[in-house]
Each structure stands twice: as C-alpha cells, then as structure tokens.
Structure 1
Amino acid sequence: MTTDAPLATPIADRRPLVRSHHGDDVEDRYEWLRAKDDAEVRAHLEAENAYTDSRVAHLEPLRETLFQEIKARVRETDLTVPVRQGGWWYYGRSIEGSQYGLQCRAPLADEDDWTPPRLEVDVEVPGEQVLLDGNVEADGHEFFSLGAFSVTTDGARMLWGVDTQGDERYTVRVKDIATGEVLPDELEGIAGGARFTPDGRFILYSTVDDAWRPEGVWLHRVGDPTRERDVEIAHEDDESFWIGAGFTRSRAYLMIESASNTTSEYAIIRAADVPRLVEDPASVPRTTLWDRSEKVEYSIDHAVIDGRDWLYVLHNRDALDFELMRVPADEPGARGEVVIAHSPGTRLESVDCLRDFAIVEYRAGGIPRVGILDYTTHEVREIAFDEPLYNAGSGGNPEWAQPVVRLSYGSFTTPGTVFDYVVSTGELRELKHVEVLGGYDPTDYGQERLWVPATDGTLIPVSLVWKRSFGAPEDAARPVHLYGYGSYEHSIDPGFSYARLSELDRGIVFAVAHVRGGGEMGRAWYENGKLTHKRNSFTDFVDVARFLVDRGYTTPDRMVAEGGSAGGLLMGAVANLAPELFAGILADVPFVDALTTILDPSLPLTVIEWEEWGDPLHDASVYEYMKSYSPYENVREGVTYPRILAMTSLNDTRVLYVEPAKWVARLREVGADALLRCEMTAGHGGVSGRYNAWRERAFQLAWMFDVLGLAE
C-alpha cells in the first residue's frame, strides 16, 4: 500500500488489566492484544501494517534497488555439493525464479569413490531423481517450511514433514521412491525432525504439548494409515524438560535424550531391539549412563575400537567448559577414561564418532574450531585455516565408515566454502566456493576484532567488517550497524552475507558486539550473561556502542542497532538504558515483554525458560530483577528514543506477536517514533521463500539507510 501522506498513527485502546505478584500490582493497558483470534486485535495489527507501509512508502524505489542488488549477486540456478549416503549422492538444486529448492539424488558410480561428482547446472546428471520439489509442496500456501526429510538406509522410501502455518507443527508423509506412490501414512501436528529407523520399518518422531514442549517419543509403523497403533516409547513429565531421540551414526544404538537448559539424561537402547519396542516397550532393556543431576549436561556417541563398543561422553561434571571421556558400552557404570581433559577457556561443543576417528568441534579465543580425534592416541589434530576471523564446522557426514570429513567454512569477507578433509593425509580439498556475481573481490573488504573494556573491566570482543575504499573504520566517523544477541550460549560467528554488501558498499561499517550471555568465549561467558547476571548483556552492548563513539568510529546519529528474538530483548533494554547512543533500532521478533511471558507457565516454552531467565512466578527476587530490565516494563518518560522498527509474525510460537505489539503501543505513549510490521502468515524465522526473504531484508535495510541519511 502506498499513499501520498502517512496514515494516522494507530493508537491501541487502553484496557487496564491488573497483574499481581509478590505484593506488586502492575496495570497492563495492552494485554488485551494477546487475543490472537479477536477481530479487534486483527484489525489493530492490520492498521499497524498499513501505517508502517505508508510511513516507508517513499523508500519503495530504494527497496526495489536493494532487492535487485541482492538478487544480482546470487547464482539463482545452482547445485549444492553432493553428500554420499548409501548407494547415492544427495544434493539440492535451486532454480531461477523458484522460491524453494529441490531435493535430488544420483546413483553412486563406484563404491570406493568418496570424491563427490562435480555437477554443472546445464549438464544432465545421469540417473538423477528429484525426490522433493519445495515449490510443488508450497503451491497454494503463503508459508512453507520443510521440517523433516529422511530416506531409508536402502534408499527405497522417503519421508518429509511440512509446516504451512509457521507454527512449527509438521505433517509428515511417506513415498515409495521407485513407484512414486505416496503411502497412506499422515502424521499431523508433530515436532520437526522425524526420521526412519535404520531398518526402514518405522518412523521415529516426537509430539509436543500445548506449550510447544516436545514431550513424547513415538514409533509409527510405515504404511499404517492412522496413528492408533503408534507406540509412545518415552515420555517426559517434567515441564522444565523436553525429550527427543535419534540413532548413533553407527546405527547401533537409539539414544533418547531428556534435557532442560542445564541438565540432561540419556536412555540407551540397542537398535536391534527397536522393533520389540512396538510390541512390548517394557520388555526392552534400557541403559541410563547418568541419572539426571542438576546442572550436569552430557551427550553420548558410539565408537567401536579393536572390536569393543565404547560410549564417548561429552560432559560438564566438574568441568565448566566440558570434558570428553569414554566408558565401555557393556559396563556403563564403569569409571570413565578421560579422552580430552577439561581446559578452562576451550569450550568443547560436540563430538561425532565415525568408524575410524571422531570429529571434535570446540571454541577457543572466540573462534569455532574443528579437529580430528585419534581413537588410539587421544590426540586432536586441528584443521587450520588462514584467516584471523572465520567460522568453520562439520556438516554432511552421514556415513559411519567415510574416510573424509565434510566441512563448511566462511568469514565476513569469504563466501561460504565447502571442503573435504582427507583424514589419512591431512589434505584439505576445496569442493565449492560460493560465487558472488558482479565482480566481488574479497580483498576489497577488511575484517578485524577489537577488544572493548566493559564498565567492570571485562574485555568484550567486537567484530568489524568494512569496505577498504572508504578508509579504515577508526580513521573517521562512519555510519555503523551494530548487531548483538547474547543469550542461550549462542554465538554470532563470522559469516558472509549477500545482503550485507549493500551496506558495506555504501560506507557502512558492520559490527557485532559479542556480549556476555552468548557462547563466544566459553561457558563462563554464558553464565555471566544469564539469570541474575542478565544485565551484563545489555551494559556490554552499551559499552561497545559508547566505545565506538568515544574513539571516533561513529557518532550517535550515524549508528543503528539490530537484534532478533532474545537479541530483540537486548534491543529493547538498550533503548531504555542509552537511547541517546542510537539513531535507530531494528528489533526482529523481539522478546520485549519478558516478565509477562516468563510469569505465565501456560505460554509456550515458559517453564523451560526459567533456567535461562529465572522463575519470577515463585521467586520474588527474580521477579524484581526481571522487572528492572524487561523493556515493556521500563519504557521511560521524558527521553528521546531512537527511531524503532519492530518486526514480528502472527504465528510465531517462540516469541508471540503480542510482545512487540504491546511494546510499540507503550513507546508511542512517550512520543517515540516506533513502527510495527506483523507478517500475518509467517513464523519465528520470518517469511518463507528466498525471494520473499530477500525482499524482507531489503525492507529492513531501506529503513536503516533512511535512519542513517543514506536513502537518497
């Protein structure tokens, strides 16, 4: 919608509702907006969208320019690097003009060949089969997300799970690949990640409760048209825990995990016994390595060494940054043997066991790293890369006996690159380097890491990337786009972005503040930004912004901040703490009404989240602490807020649309220039489809450029 002048600002009715906890009565004027299906609520959201569209109508030419810039950098018709599984090479295709990709495979020519074929988009692939066309699946739907895709070990059947609402509940179907027949199986409303059992006779899947918590693990007989005979093989009654299951890469064991944010427990079942679970679950022996113990996390994988089965256990018992040990599979209660000792500051993140070696992923110095573990010597050989800032990880390694390790690599300036690492020789083979069309030269751009002192003296890592032709970032005040997250031990690692080039090419410096609460610097970094240390995340971000201003990198009128989800909480908090430091703030699916949400155990994921934020329902001190920083609770009178754009989705089940809707309404009470855009058919990740996603990013960038005075 475009108009010659902006529409009138939507003003939400004030309908006070008193919330009472711990002797504190709070009048919430906008809680009525939570009634998602109410006609007045829908009308208000539509009015917000129309108002936002009218306010940014003048940016339409810029949005189209940005969209075309992004699109012009992408090779729209392309193929992924094939991954070997069974007798096939599996890969994806993208086709110019199509929103979604195709899942394909081609037969293996030589069983001894682990070098993937180099496929060309304009050359026919012998024996190619298109297993799934996302565009066909999405036809007739405004939203489409693939939440499961699995092929039986023998390659005969496939399953796929689809969400067309954005609520992360999937419908799974099964197909006979040779005949094309779609079997009568239809599993509706289940969690993502459904898969076949190794023998292909059953589907392993999870169900969720009303709070979207995975609560049960089930087995379904392939070919059964109903779920009446499905068997629940595990159930998690504790509302602070979720449950899930999967098979080891060796296909020897089924692992059923129950976990909270801080505690985990595994039940181990031999895969050969899985068919018996359907007939009589109680008759099948289960082994629990360690019973759940508060704040003890562990994960298990399986290896066979000199003919003996071993369980490799990655854990944090008396090891803050985790330790790797192993125990005999037939003596799970035996004293464990340390394989990789705990080393403070080096966070062990995952161990994946293959037949002849294990892949170890860990983090040191704020950089993710990958190494190969020798089962005999226990030595870890790190796979080295040249750039000082990069992101590397394993992926696409489904086979137990493969002699190579598939790796993904990238940095702020290096587009995504796929390698095979030959373990026996140490050779690193580049298989594909994502091409950026239009003459991109990575040497035109620079990246570096700063260490910024926080108020308490802690050094906060800050990553910068910029275009060199505009000079070094510290040479003159430049427009800065400062990004942050800082929760759940999630790290914001260096990564390439097609869309970001549109910023860098206009002289903007992109920066990431790796604040406490994330995982960049190990488990202690996370612990010092959660629960009653949560404010550190916010003050770290403010200290970084102030440093960039004080050192001449930028000025407040030339700096925008961005964060999404829990990073949206960060945005709302810093808007209240230091509104004078920013010209604009983009908050994507922002968790800005945190106290209201975490007080209500009936809302999705609330009880699980108490280990991240605290339990304000039962603990008055947590209530007071969260109330002191929750953005909606702390909107300030008498200050000038930066321009704010809040993006949300009606069907988001992780951060409900009502949070930014209430926040924007409250901000307007104090005169803030705040816009709300609510996608009416999308989920937590925003719109679906690559072209839609590019247009959404162009919308956000155009708004940021307008804030920075770069919209001309």
Structure 2
Amino acid sequence: MKNLKPKAATSATLLSACLLVGAGCSSSNTGGSTATATATTEQAATATPATTQLPQPPVAKKVPKELTTHGDTRIDNYYWMNQREDPEVISYLSAENTYTDKMLAHTKDLQQQLFDEIVGRIKQNDASVPFKDDGYWYYTRYEEGKEYPIYARKKGTMEAAEEIMLNANERAEGQSYYSAAGINVSPNNQLLAFGEDTVSRRKYTLRFKNLQTGKLLPDEIPNTTGSAVWANDNKTVYYTMKDPALRSFKIFKHTLGTPTSQDKEVYHEADETFNTFVYKTKSEDYIIIGSGSTLSNEYRYLDANKPNGEFKVIQPRERGLEYSVDHFGNNFYIVTNKDGAKNFKLVQTPVSKPGKANWKEVIPHREDVLLEGIEIFKDYLTLQERKNGLTQIRVKSWKDSKTDYYIDFGEEAYTAYIGNNPDFDSNKLRYGYTSLTTPYSTYDYNMKTKEQELLKRDEVVGDFDPANYEAKRVYATADDGTKIPVSLVYRKGTVLNGQNPTLLYAYGSYGSSTNPGFSSVRLSLLDRGFVYAIAHIRGGQEMGRQWYEDGKLLKKKNTFTDFIDAAEYLIEQNYTNPDKLFAQGGSAGGLLMGAVVNMRPDLFEGVLAAVPFVDVVTTMLDTSIPLTTGEFDEWGNPAEKQYYDYMLSYSPYDQVEAKEYPNMLVTTGLHDSQVQYWEPAKWVAKLRDMKTDDNMLLLHTNMEAGHGGASGRFQRYKETALQYAFLLNLLEQQNQ
C-alpha cells in the first residue's frame, strides 16, 4: 500500500487552520530557506511576520563540520550543539522551548485538564504489597500530594510500629531532580545502603544510614551505579564505579568507617564493550560479579562470609556464550544459550566445579519457548517463559516430577511476571499480572494447593470500569510474510469505520519485549475515542530469541518495515486512516520514529519522538559517548565499512531529505546519559531547514532532567499532558 495520503497542506490552508484554533504557526515554508539559515537563535526566536504576528521557529546557525570515514565525507552543520555548557547551545534549546510554548499556548487549558485527569486517577495515599524478609515486612508508600516514596518496614507483623528507613521527599527538598536507588538493608537488619542522583545523569552517590539511630554515616561514595552489596559481616560492601563515558567498569570493596581512598579495587572490566555489575545470590551465600556485553557473559563468585577472599571465575567468557547465575544448595543454576540453545535452557553445576564442562541440563532448550528467568524455592522451581508472544509462569517440583504445570491467566493479551520472592522456604509464589484492561495486580500463589490470593490491584480513582474497554491481539503481515503481533485496546462500542484516531507505539531493540500492560494514563486517549496499539516488531524478543536476531545489526531495517506494515494493517482493517494515525516511540524507539518518517511520512498525521537516538553513525563512531562501546553487537561497529554503510542507509539524521514530514513533537532532557540531548536537537534543526511542508515541528527540552524525564510521582505527567494535547490539537485542527 503506497501513497495513502497527500501530506502537504497549502500555506493558505494551514494559516486558516492556525487562526481558527488560535495556534501560533507560520504560513511560510520553513524548509530549505538559505536566506534565513544563518540567522542567530535569538533573532529567529523573536522574528514574527509583520502582518500575522505569528511566532517563527528558531533557525540554528550552520557551522559545517566534515566527518570522514572509509573515504566517505558527511557534512554536519549542527555538530556544534554537542557542547552542553556552551551558552549559545543553552540559548538555542531555550528558544526552541519558547517556540513550542507559543505554538501550543492555546492548549494550556487542555494540558492542565489532561494533567489533572491523569493525576486524579492516581490513589494519593497508597502503598505497595509488603514482602517478608528476615523477620521484617518491607513496603513502599506514598502520601497525598507528595512526589516521592517513603521506604518503610515493620518488625514481625504488619501491626507493629512503622520504621521509616528513607523518606525520599525529605531527601529531595531543594533539588530540581531527585532519584533514590539501590535500597538495601544489611544482613543484621541495622544498616541501610542507598544511592542518590540529583542531576539525572545516573551517577549516584552511595550513602549509609544507621536504622537504629536514624543517623547517616559519614561514608559517601560518588560516581556509582547507586547499588551496594553487603557481605555477611555487615561492614563490607561492594559497589560499581562508572568511567567518564558512564560505563560501569570497576568493582570496589569498601569497609564502613574507612576513607574511600582506601577502597580496594576487586575487579576491572578492561574490555570497553562490556559492563560490570555485582549482586548477592538469593541464598545470601555468595557475592557475584558479572560482566556482560550483547553476546557474552562472564561471572565470578565469592563466599559472602569471607569478604577478604578472592573471586573465582565460574565460566570464562566466550563470544556468543550467554549465561546468568543463581545459587541453591551445592549448585549454581545457570540460564544459558550454550550449544545453540537460542531460546535458552537451564543447567546446574557444582559450586566446586562450576565450568561449562560440568553443566547438567535441568530444563532443555525449546524452539517455541523463550526461557526468560527463574525463581528458586526450597521445594519448587518457577520459570518465567514466553510463548507466542505471551509471558507464562511454570511451576515445577524438585521432588515430584509429576508436579509440573502452568498458571492459567485466561486472557488473550496480558503480561505476567515473577515478583519479589526473598523467602526460600515459602510455598507461595508472589507474581504480578496486568493486561491492557486490567490494572497491575499482585498475587500470592500457593504452589502446593494451586490456590491464589489477590493481594492488591492498583486502584484507578474515578469511574473506571474495565468492562468498558476491549483488548485484542491481531497480526499484520510483513513483506517477507512474517506475522507481526499487534496488541489493541479501545472503548467497547467503537465502530471500526476507518475514522478512529489511533496511536501506534513500538520499541523494537535490544531484545526488549513490549508487554501489553495497563495504563491509567492512557485512559485520557481511550475515553476520547482513540485506539491504542502496540506493534510487537522484530528487534524485541516477544516471539523468541530469533525475533531479536532478525531485528538488529544488518537486519535492523526489519524493525522499521514491521512498524510500517503494522500501520498499513490498521488502515486496511478500518481502524483508522492516515489523517488520524499517530506514531510514538522513545530512545531506540525514537530511532524507529526517525527512520519511519524518512521512509513513509505519508502514513502518519503526527509523531511523538521521545529522547530519540537519531544520529546513529556519529554516535556509534564516538566511543567517548556513554553506552557506545557496549552496543557494537546491537547496531554494528561503523569502524567496519559494511556496518557504516548499512547504518548510514537508515540513520534518521543522515537521511533527512527535502520532502514533506508529519507533524512532530520531539522531547529530550539536557542531562540525558543515554541519548545525548544534541541528537534530537540537531535532528530538529536539520528537519526544519530541509522539510518542504508547513506541519508543526516542535522540540521540548527538559532543562533539569535526563533520559527518564522529570523525577517525582506526578511531575512526569506534565510532559505526557503536553504530548496528548499535541495529538488532540492536530485532530481539532482537522475539525475546523
């Protein structure tokens, strides 16, 4: 299906629409104007036509920079934007924010309405389901009007007095951004380790608190991942340090009460394509150091009772050998792809002889089932698996071979996952469940009697009734015949006449599966007549490991064409039409958005691209940028010509052309540690210079946040309200 929609609106038509809805948009063609291409940011931000007084978009200055690789020279006119501290960069980003504010000024009341709706559905005084660990019940709770959680516990029974371990609201006072991470209590239950980030670069300072006195210890360790692992002596902790490119590259040992300058480096991951991390087994018997890349893993172990001992390797790294480790009794239990087990299998090996020569199969590899993870109990083994795109939980007895079954969930499109289960001796499995119509629910499941108890279902404040909504799974057909699952949800009674506004979302990278889960936020669209769709495209892992393999490296374009095929399917099946179809993706999903609008801009009325990874070639050539070196096995290394050529052929920034593009709202964060702000900023500048339409192109930069947006329970939804208002405004313009 080609040329579904003539995208260009005439200048006169667009101006009329802008005036009717009070929008501040320009009637002139913003693309390709060499006369204004060198205007300063300040001039562009204030320039308005004398006759209409409509705001004009910022026009970034051009400073041509030649980038030559493999004899190929690219000219990057906006390379200068990669200086975070440059006042001119900040001025440009601020001018873009001002322009976005002006263009959407008439939607301010709608944005506030949407924000109030979204926040109004959230139960203000709320708490997680408590879990029991070593004599204490642990939970997280929120108080009305507060942005951050309170981490608390009670000893022995939930009727006991509450002990507040950490009140993040108090810690966040005076900070424009705050994130607490790695909440971890010492084995003797007396000390708390936690990490704090007040910048949003995911560089955490480790701190420690005496839970008996309530006082912070003087120990502070900056530039960590935010997590500390306790040895069993209650005074030794292991933590992970980050290098200048934010790669987790060293493990240190710290003794409480000693200067950090005396901390001992216990492991250095010298390979820049690997990251390292440290954790403690569920048994609490071993400290595990792991190193991982896209295609390989390596683990080391140490008796948690002997923190001065030496770590031993379980199995040396081999390219293509992936494995993960847990412990029970005298054995390590390992999920691995060894011997061609593409969808992974489970093996066990003696702690005394952990190498792969001694790996004994427990759960064999299956061509149609992806083994995602395990949870070990004294009497039972539980497995989280994925088949036909859906998660499922399997229960298997260690002693009775006849006890081997799956929990029945009874819905067409859902997500189930193993929850927090710290107690080895329990017969109860804590698991979570959600679907597109069912709020997140927490269950305890008795693995012996098969009885289950619903402990909590997230409350949606207001008149929400799941019976008012319908969810289904359909399949689009790719050009190569592959069936692409698409999960859908909409209000019951929706007439499929091709006139429904539809938001199509996808991610499709890193083998990350996009599961169909509930969102009370999404109700603001569904209740306004939207169909919401998730395209489970290749590059994720919904349909098994091969699904991932077929959407990365030199097959990455399958990710983009799958999304296009899903969009065409929704149009063909009369869910929507190109005037009412919108696309959404973030991070690597933002790369998807960039590629798709280059390939098929005619399919979409509007696009939401959040923190988009769009300057693929330049970023992957720069090993000083965070995450680059660890991702060569995902995207390819452009230092090799075949990968350079292939990346260049889809890189959204490099493939911008002088043609018509959909309306777009692009969002980013100044402190983003994963996709640097300059990628979307450069992309917008180049699009604005080259595109030949009058459609809206807006860039919003959160000047105080990073990859995940604003911190806090509610503030993050201001950006959601902005995005939704952008979509609804486009529909409103069509009705004028």
Asked if Structure 1 and Structure 2 have the same fold, meaning a TM-score greater than 0.5 normalized by the shorter chain, the answer is yes
Aligned to 2:544: 522
From 448, 451, 454, give the equivalent of 1:430.
Answer: 454
Contact persistence 1:368–1:393 (CA under 8 A): yes
Distance 1:244 1:402 in 2: 28
Contact persistence 1:242–1:258 (CA under 8 A): yes
Matches within 5 A, 1:62-461: 62-109=110-157, 117=158, 126-224=160-258, 226-274=259-307, 276-277=308-309, 284=310, 286-304=311-329, 309-317=330-338, 318-333=340-355, 334-376=357-399, 380-461=404-485
Aligned to 2:87: 39
Distance 2:368 2:113 in 1: 45
Contact persistence 1:250–1:354 (CA under 8 A): no
Q: CA deviation at 1:406?
A: 1.1
Structure 2 counterpart SS, 1:450: strand
Q: Note closer, same or farther for the CA distance 1:501–1:370 as it changes in structure 2 (3 Å cut).
A: same
Contact persistence 1:62–1:711 (CA under 8 A): no
- 1:240-290 CA-partner distances (Å, limit 9, x unpaired): 01111111110111211111011001112222222x14xxxxxx3x43232
- 1:471-495 CA-partner distances (Å, limit 9, x unpaired): 3xx3443110000100000011011
Q: CA deviation at 1:580?
A: 0.2
Q: CA deviation at 1:403?
A: 2.7
Distance 2:733 2:542 in 1: 32
Distance 1:357 1:21 in 2: 55
Q: CA deviation at 1:463?
A: 0.5
Aligned to 2:654: 633
Structure 2 counterpart SS, 1:622: helix
From 677, 687, 696, give the equivalent of 1:657.
Answer: 677
- 1:136-192 CA-partner distances (Å, limit 9, x unpaired): 111001101112211112211112211000000011111111111211111111113
Structure 1 counterpart SS, 2:238: strand
Distance 2:125 2:359 in 1: 51
Aligned to 2:69: 21
Q: Which 10-residue stretch deviates more, 686-695 or 647-656?
A: 686-695
Structure 2 counterpart SS, 1:192: strand
Structure 2 counterpart SS, 1:664: helix
TM-score (norm 2): 0.90
Contact persistence 1:395–1:407 (CA under 8 A): yes
Q: CA deviation at 1:13?
A: 0.3
Structure 2 counterpart SS, 1:42: helix
Distance 1:388 1:58 in 2: 41
Distance 2:493 2:257 in 1: 62
Distance 1:376 1:301 in 2: 19
Distance 2:54 2:493 in 1: 38
Contact persistence 1:89–1:107 (CA under 8 A): yes
Distance 1:240 1:547 in 2: 39
Structure 1 counterpart SS, 2:654: helix
The answer to whether 1:543 aligns with 2:543 is no
Q: Note closer, same or farther for the CA distance 1:146–1:185 as it changes in structure 2 (3 Å cut).
A: same
Distance 2:663 2:60 in 1: 19
Give the residue type in structure 1 aligned to 2:382. I
Q: Which 10-residue stretch deviates more, 129-138 or 455-464?
A: 129-138
The answer to whether 1:489 aligns with 2:511 is yes
Q: Note closer, same or farther for the CA distance 1:446–1:138 as it changes in structure 2 (3 Å cut).
A: same
Structure 2 counterpart SS, 1:62: helix
Q: Which runs of 5+ in 2 are unaligned?
A: 1-21, 25-52
The answer to whether 1:609 aligns with 2:631 is yes
The answer to whether 1:573 aligns with 2:572 is no
The answer to whether 1:697 aligns with 2:720 is yes
- 1:658-685 CA-partner distances (Å, limit 9, x unpaired): 0000000011012353111011110110
Give the residue type in structure 2 aligned to 1:237. A
Distance 1:130 1:289 in 2: 39
Distance 1:310 1:19 in 2: 53
Contact persistence 2:153–2:165 (CA under 8 A): yes
Q: CA deviation at 1:57?
A: 0.7
Contact persistence 2:428–2:445 (CA under 8 A): yes
Distance 1:246 1:564 in 2: 29
Distance 2:396 2:267 in 1: 33
Contact persistence 1:481–1:508 (CA under 8 A): yes
Q: Note closer, same or farther for the CA distance 1:231–1:59 as it changes in structure 2 (3 Å cut).
A: same
Distance 1:405 1:640 in 2: 54
- 1:191-228 CA-partner distances (Å, limit 9, x unpaired): 1322322332112210011111111111111223x201
Q: CA deviation at 1:313?
A: 1.3
Q: Note closer, same or farther for the CA distance 1:351–1:614 as it changes in structure 2 (3 Å cut).
A: same
Give the residue type in structure 1 aligned to 2:513. S
Contact persistence 1:560–1:708 (CA under 8 A): no
Aligned to 2:10: none
Q: Which 10-residue stretch deviates more, 374-383 or 60-69?
A: 374-383
Contact persistence 2:194–2:226 (CA under 8 A): no
Aligned to 2:529: 507
Contact persistence 1:263–1:292 (CA under 8 A): yes
Q: CA deviation at 1:710?
A: 8.0
- 1:49-88 CA-partner distances (Å, limit 9, x unpaired): 1111111111111111111111221111111111111121
Aligned-residue RMSD, C-alpha: 1.6
TM-score (norm 1): 0.93
Structure 1 counterpart SS, 2:349: strand
Report the number of matched residues.
680
Aligned to 1:51: 99
Contact persistence 1:421–1:429 (CA under 8 A): yes
Contact persistence 1:149–1:161 (CA under 8 A): yes
Structure 2 counterpart SS, 1:543: helix
From 666, 671, 678, give the equivalent of 1:646.
Answer: 666
- 1:611-633 CA-partner distances (Å, limit 9, x unpaired): 1000002x111111000000000
Structure 2 counterpart SS, 1:616: coil
Structure 2 counterpart SS, 1:258: strand
Q: Which 10-residue stretch deviates more, 398-407 or 228-237?
A: 398-407
Give the residue type in structure 1 aligned to 2:327. H
Aligned to 2:699: 676
